[in-house]
């Protein structure tokens, strides 16, 4: 019998990462493509997804009929049951059924879920949280995402909207967040939050290696790593502030859920996770009930860029 393969995708606002898994759950081929999100281009993102899957098939030499299933993580509120993207902040999708055109094109089942939920699922099945039953995941990237595993199951809440930890309000008088509220965790601890702090300090005449990088948006994680290595004062302050609020948020989540483990992932953690973890751990005890704190572990995600891809694989496994 011919080998069958699963195709898994990490769909972002600017790129799609695609891989092929063989039946031993090994990645045998990978591909990255840019997406041009913006305007009314639901079609555009769909076309890029289709072209990535087609390219994965042709370049790797497998046949279309050997595909067992396709699965993806994407930003936004996504109904995992129906494959409808209700809303996506960085992609032009509103109440958009992405499942149907992909299944029609490839004749294989297609599964899709919120990217951070899917990433936390990946860490739970194959990564840092393997073997634990209750997992809180915080993913620090351009924004701030969350995921929650309770009693061994992904908890998605009413209409798949749960675990928006990034919009936990930690200071109602704090900086403005993209969601319209003030003082959200995302406004302090994401790349957007850290970048706006650096821009603010630059406007006051302070120098930083990252001043230029944040003028038009957010810094790249590897630049942050360089700035910290060179003891850039403003970058260090931005990170200290980010970790302070992550420690408060983590304490709140620990007290609320009493998880076995809190896992930190995302691009920032991949670049400077040891520094973040050390700073969070130095403070988090202040914000946890001691009796709950002593049964919780704090770890960096283990799968890096691939956590969403492995989470997509586990959606196929469960189906």
- pLDDT confidence of residue 94: 85
DSSP state of 304: G
Mean pLDDT for back-to-back runs of 10 residues, the chain (319 residues): 90 88 96 70 75 94 95 93 84 85 95 95 97 98 95 95 96 95 97 97 97 93 97 98 98 98 96 97 98 98 95 91
Q: Which fold has domain 5-119+307-318?
A: Nucleotidyltransferase; domain 5 (3.30.420)
pLDDT at res. 47 = 85
- pTM beyond 0.75: the answer is yes
- Gap between the Cα atoms of 257 and 244, Å rounded: 20
Residue whose tokens read 């046949």:
63
Distance, in Å, from the CA atom of 146 to the CA atom of 168, rounded to the nearest integer, reads 11
CB 218 within 8 A of CB 195: yes
Which of helix, strand or coil describes residue 23? Answer: coil
Domain ranges of the chain: 5-119+307-318, 131-302
Domain 5-119+307-318 and domain 131-302 have a common topology: yes
CB count in 10 Å sphere of residue 229:
11
Confidence at residue 258, expressed as pLDDT on a 0 to 100 scale: 98
pLDDT at 280: 98
CA atoms lying within 13 Å on the CB side of residue 209 = 17
Rounded to whole angstroms, the Cα distance separating 176 from 13 reads 22
Residue 158 neighbours by CB under 8 Å, 6+ apart: none
Count of CB atoms situated within 10 Å of the CB of 127? 23
| Cβ-based neighbours of 85, under 8 Å, separated by 6 or more | 74, 76, 77, 78, 79, 91, 93, 94, 95, 96, 97, 98, 112
DSSP 170: S
Domain boundaries 131-302, corresponding CATH code: 3.30.420.40
């Amino acid at each position: 019998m011919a080998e069958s393969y699963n195709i898994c995708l990490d769909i972002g606002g600017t790129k799609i990462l695609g891989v092929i898994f063989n039946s031993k759950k090994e990645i045998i081929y990978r591909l990255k493509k840019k997406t041009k999100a913006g305007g009314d281009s639901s079609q555009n993102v769909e076309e890029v997804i289709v072209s990535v899957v087609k390219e994965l098939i042709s370049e790797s030499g497998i046949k279309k009929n050997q595909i067992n299933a396709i699965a993806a993580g994407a930003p936004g509120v996504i109904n995992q049951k129906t494959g409808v993207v209700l809303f996506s902040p960085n992609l032009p999708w509103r109440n958009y059924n992405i499942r149907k055109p992909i299944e029609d094109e490839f004749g294989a089942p297609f599964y899709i879920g919120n990217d951070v939920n899917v990433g936390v699922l990946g860490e739970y099945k194959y990564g840092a949280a393997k073997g634990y039953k209750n997992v809180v995941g915080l993913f620090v990237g351009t924004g701030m995402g969350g995921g929650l595993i309770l009693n061994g199951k992904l908890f998605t809440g009413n209409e798949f909207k749960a675990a928006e930890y990034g919009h936990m309000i930690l200071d109602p008088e704090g900086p403005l967040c993209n969601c319209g509220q003030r003082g959200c965790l995302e406004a302090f601890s994401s790349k957007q939050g850290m970048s706006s702090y650096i821009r603010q300090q630059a406007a006051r005449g302070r120098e930083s290696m990252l001043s230029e990088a944040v003028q038009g948006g957010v810094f790249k994680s590897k630049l942050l790593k360089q700035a910290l290595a060179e003891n850039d004062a403003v970058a260090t302050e931005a990170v200290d502030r980010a970790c302070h609020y992550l420690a408060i948020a983590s304490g709140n989540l620990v007290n609320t859920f009493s998880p076995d483990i809190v896992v930190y992932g995302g691009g920032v953690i991949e670049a400077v996770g040891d520094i973040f973890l050390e700073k969070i751990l130095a403070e988090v005890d202040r914000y946890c009930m001691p009796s709950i704190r002593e049964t919780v572990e704090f770890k960096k995600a283990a799968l890096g860029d691939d956590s969403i891809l492995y989470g997509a694989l586990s959606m196929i496994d469960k189906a």
